[in-house]
Structure 1
Amino acid sequence: MTKRIIAYALTCAFALAGHAVMAQGTSVAFGGLKHDSKLPVEITADQLSVDQSTGKAVFVGNVLIGQGSMRLTAGKVDVIYGAGGGGNISQLEATQGVTLTNGGEAVEARTARYDLGSGAVVLTGSVLLTQGPNAISGDTMTIDLKTGVGTIDGRVKTILQPGTSE
């Protein structure tokens, strides 16, 4: 097994053992999901509607959001701006099939809420994290992009693929 697979397997084993005892969630390091939430955000979509009275913009159809090396795709994304105007994005709420990627890691879920101020992403609904050939699933995943640490809650299941030695 490669060193990465061994470290990952041990992390998952300890995390899953802790989950079985505490039933509060599985914490796993997500190095590829460590990210600077202060980088500019680029959004492309088939359609955009803006409501000045609520301070909300809605992107619909093939939505692709890029921030540094991180990418988020969804069918619909609501952009919520912070107080005081100035066009500062406070939160992104993605629905209709969400995929979040950064490096060799990807997370799929039904919905995602990204708070740019805190750098937290909360994904809900049939969450599936893949890291190379390995996968972890659960009901909800919270990622702290500043540290790259995430927690998966709900019925957590993992699949580890044995590797070859280097």
Structure 2
Amino acid sequence: MTHPMFRFLLVLLLSLPLGALAQGASVSFKGLKQDTTLPVEVTADSLAVDQATGTATFSGNVRVAQGALVMTAGEIRVEYAAEAGKIAKLHAKGGVTFANAGDAAEAAEAIYTIDSGSLVMSGNVLLTQGQTAISGQKLAIDLKAGSGVMEGRVQTVFQPKGGN
């Protein structure tokens, strides 16, 4: 006879997506799906522009908004595209947070490539989706597709339905 707890754990493990058991876990980001053609608004305590490199560095209480998507950090460097005034990438560091709808993520650093809708967060990443939290070292999100992958010693706790 098999112990009931063993059967419960076996059923739980077999019901998980294969990626959740490996070093990387695929995660759904329907709440983070984003229209990357919307305008990008940046506010900060200070701004330094470097014409030679085509970058602008916002420092102190930086907040970037694109539609319902919000990113905050201690510093965000804006890398401009060859097209005048068009932002190519945002390089954020220093307590980076990223939120949209019911999903939020924290990390040490992040790079957001606007045209492709690619967001890569690294350094002690913590993702929360409602009551679920997943941690790892790197989180790569495709904002256009609403999908992503968490990598680097992924950890989460699954709550069984009806559990406290």
TM-score, normalised via structure 1 length: 0.85
Q: Distance in 1 between matches of 2:136 and 2:16?
A: 15
Q: Which sits farther off after the overlay, 152-161 or 35-44?
A: 152-161
1:13 aligns with 2:16: yes
User: 1:132 aligns to what?
Assistant: 130
CA contact (8 A) 1:48 1:60 kept: yes
CA root-mean-square deviation: 1.8
1:162, CA displacement in angstroms?
4.7
Q: Equivalent residues in 2 for 1:10-159 (5 A)?
A: 13-14=16-17, 15-17=19-21, 19=22, 23=23, 25-84=24-83, 86-159=84-157
Instruction: Give CA deviations for 1:12-56 in whole Å, capped at 9, x if unaligned.
Output: 921313x2xxx4x21111111111111100000000011111110
User: 1:3 aligns to what?
Assistant: none
Q: Distance in 1 between matches of 2:131 and 2:160?
A: 9
TM-score, normalised via structure 2 length: 0.86
1:160, CA displacement in angstroms?
2.9
The number of residues matched between the two structures is 150
1:150, CA displacement in angstroms?
0.4
1:133, CA displacement in angstroms?
1.2
Q: State the structure with more CA Rg.
A: 2
User: How many percent identity over aligned positions?
Assistant: 50
Q: Which sits farther off after the overlay, 34-43 or 153-162?
A: 153-162
1:143, CA displacement in angstroms?
0.1
Q: Report SS of the residue matched to 1:97.
A: strand
Unaligned runs of 5+ in 1: 1-8
Tell me which amino acid in the other structure corresponds to 1:159.
Answer: V
Tell me which amino acid in the other structure corresponds to 2:76.
Answer: V
Tell me which amino acid in the other structure corresponds to 2:29.
Answer: F
Q: Distance in 2 between matches of 1:96 and 1:13?
A: 34
Tell me which amino acid in the other structure corresponds to 1:27.
Answer: S
1:83, CA displacement in angstroms?
1.3
